[in-house]
Structure 1
Amino acid sequence: MTAGKKRPPWVKTASVYDRYIDIRGLIPSIGDVPRMINSGALAGVRKVLDEAGFRVSEAFLGELSSERVFAGRVLRSMGLWEKEEAAWGLFVDRIWDFYREGGDPVLVAIHGVDKWMLQDFKLGVRCIFKSAAVLDSLVPELEGRRRQIEFVFLGDWEGVVSGV
């Protein structure tokens, strides 16, 4: 933003980030992390976040598979990996590198975890927990640029968990 220009209320200033956008301030119904929203809400979320400057990437999980497929498809949707599968160590490294590059904030909409949870609840929970933990680990360093990365897990959550 240029000097003297007032920031919109959802853009928070933080010395270690290029900028930080409080998406819950923009969309209160999006909830806390992990952000689990119904698939039908994505169009509205996308519209608001596009206007706020987010790039939106979508990962489609497909049939129940493995944590490696989850990690690979999320990275591939972000343009950070070409293959179908990825180990969690690679997932962490690629997300960290992407974070350190700086640039526009990114929302990754992950489709299908709800279906995985109906077939193998623990697998779905592990994928959500591990990916959220990676984002939580993105601790700003003293120098360099940063990029805001957010995950949302899309699905028909009413049949899987309550309170979503």
Structure 2
Amino acid sequence: MNQESIDAGVLYIDDTAARLDDFKNLFGKSFNIYTAQSIAIGQGMLARHEIGVIIIDHLVTGTNGINFCESIAQSHPRAIKILLTGFSDADDVNDAINKGLLYACLPKPWQNDELKNVVKNALEVYYLRKHNIELTYKLYEANYQLSKANK
């Protein structure tokens, strides 16, 4: 993983403190980890840090993970969203994936290697999208300068 991938944060939202601690202990050396025990704390993290990947439990006090991903789709469109669930309501999950709200849905309890690989791949997608936007901006700027020079 390149240095840039380590800089963007991975936010894990779950209302069970023990799961948050497990996640930090398992992945803290590989990723820049932020955790939140509530939606409000998670939204604060999103406001203060560059978050490349959001992992959320399907059932979080006050809402569910899919609704949260939908609520932040406009404000954080580049963040890659992963749902962890112990339930098998495939229709809701499939709809969310088809709408582009979720990058992946993984079962709970998670398999450490599988989750680590999915997060690593999600961060790569995040940085590819970010780089693409930067290149597109540079292309527009170069085209503008060229058209200005041609006049």
TM-score bracket for this pair, using the shorter chain length = 0.3 to 0.5
Q: TM-score, normalization: structure 2?
A: 0.32
Q: Which has the higher contact order (CA 8 A, sep 6+)?
A: 1
More strand by share: 2
More helix by share: 2
Larger radius of gyration: 2
